[in-house]
Amino acid sequence: MKPRANLNWNWLRPEMNMMKNLSVNRDAKWHLDHPYNARHLLFAIVALMILAVTGSRMEVPRMVQETAQGVGYVVGLNEESSVATGVKRIAESIWPLRISEEIEVSRIENFDRNDLPWLSHVEVIESRTPHLNTETLQLEETIESKEVLVKPIGYLSHVLLKMLETLEMALWGTILAVALSIPLACFAAANYAPNRFVYNLARSTISLFRAIPELVSALFLVLAFGFGPIAGFLALGIHSAGFLGKFYAEDIENADRGPQEALQSIGAGQIKTLWYGVLPQVLPQYIAYTLYILDRNIRMATVIGIVGAGGIGLELKGRFDMFNFDHVGTILVIIFLTVIILDQFSARLRSRLM
């Protein structure tokens, strides 16, 4: 056997130590806790009670029953179902979607028969209105014929224009949010706030912005600025500034201290340190947040019009109240398509930036 005096076993030391420890603990009593105990049981009982009480208040059983009836009606088990008839009625009135627009010629001022708008034509339609002749007690029909200007894609283009207005509202809401939240975030980052008071003030302003839902602030802003997009984008901007401010501030706080110390140590000052030591680090994150907020604002902008703050929601609300469900159908399809397309777009943009 070769002498192994000069062999170096140091590399084995950690393993040796481990083996030593194992042999020492061989006689120790091992005990693994049972996975469940009384506390888990108590928790389960409380959770069940909450579910039972709130469930009955929310009429969950009726929901289940009527949905089941509706499903039964669809597959042919039930004769009737209130849910199914309701859905059917809405579906029937939504379809076909309203694409064209008809305007009575007599209501158009300065109508010029030789210079019709693009893609439109004049049609004569006859409408029959039944009414009771009081002398003969017979139902009679009077036939009225009126001339209408038909725009084949008139309503669609109207909705698309409203959708564009909605997108613009979302864009300006986001711009406002960024403009508001960048200074707020600098003051709300613990390592850049000039003092405790300013820090707390900025933090609470951000929380306040976040706490007011868009629909609520829009209600009041409509009173201040009147119907239209101003109230809409202000409401969106204020609410999303609450989110962006928080995200931006946390990123500033969590940015790598190294580059900041390097600039601080030569006396670059706070603003320049933020600009050159922090911003390049957090910029991709900022862009991702901002895109998310834009995405969210587009979805919110479609509904914010319901309280009168401009955009497609105003049109939706008006048509819904007049029971023009075919118009409502067009609006919903347009909203749906826009949100899907923009979702794809922003997801792709975000993945390229990361």
Partner 1 sequence: MLRFENVYKRFPDGTEAIRNISLHVPKGQFCVVLGPSGAGKSTLLRMLNGLSQPTEGSVHLAGEQITERSIQRLRKRVATVHQQFNLTPRMSVALNVLSGALPQVAHWRAAVGLFPPELREKACRLLDEVGLTPEHVNRRVSELSGGQQQRVGIARAFMMDPAVLLADEPVASLDPRISRGILELLHRQSRNHNTTVLCSLHQPELAREFGDRIIAVNQGRLVFDGTPEQLTDQVCEDLYHGALAHKNDVPEVDEAACEPELELAAA
Residues that bind partner 1 (CB under 8 A): 4, 7, 9, 12-13, 16-17, 19-20, 256, 258-259, 261-269, 271-272, 275-277, 280-281, 283-284
Do residues 353 and 306 make contact, with C-beta atoms less than 8 angstroms apart? Answer: no
**Under 8 Å CB-to-CB from 333, ≥6 apart: which residues?**
97
Minimal distance in Å, beta carbon 267 to partner 1? 4
Cβ proximity to partner 1, 140 vs 261, nearer residue: 261
- Which contiguous run of DSSP H or E holds residue 76? none
Minimal distance in Å, beta carbon 354 to partner 1? 12
- The token pair at 179 is 């403009």
Minimal distance in Å, beta carbon 224 to partner 1? 34
* Angstrom distances, CA of residue 296 to CA of 121, 239, 265, 292: 40, 11, 41, 6
Cβ proximity to partner 1, 181 vs 260, nearer residue: 260
- The token pair at 140 is 């009679």
Minimal distance in Å, beta carbon 277 to partner 1? 6
DSSP states of 265-279: HTT--HHHHIIIIIH
Cβ proximity to partner 1, 264 vs 324, nearer residue: 264
Cβ proximity to partner 1, 226 vs 269, nearer residue: 269
Minimal distance in Å, beta carbon 201 to partner 1? 24
Would you give the DSSP letter of residue 198?
A: H
Minimal distance in Å, beta carbon 279 to partner 1? 9
Do residues 319 and 328 make contact, with C-beta atoms less than 8 angstroms apart? Answer: yes
Cβ proximity to partner 1, 9 vs 36, nearer residue: 9
**Under 8 Å CB-to-CB from 193, ≥6 apart: which residues?**
186, 187, 199, 202
Cβ proximity to partner 1, 142 vs 265, nearer residue: 265
Partner residues linked to 138 by β-bridges: 133
CA dihedral 336, 339, 341, 347 (to 10 degrees): -150
Minimal distance in Å, beta carbon 280 to partner 1? 4
Do residues 256 and 301 make contact, with C-beta atoms less than 8 angstroms apart? Answer: no
308: alpha, beta or left, given left = phi > 0 and alpha = psi -120 to 50? left
Cβ proximity to partner 1, 44 vs 262, nearer residue: 262
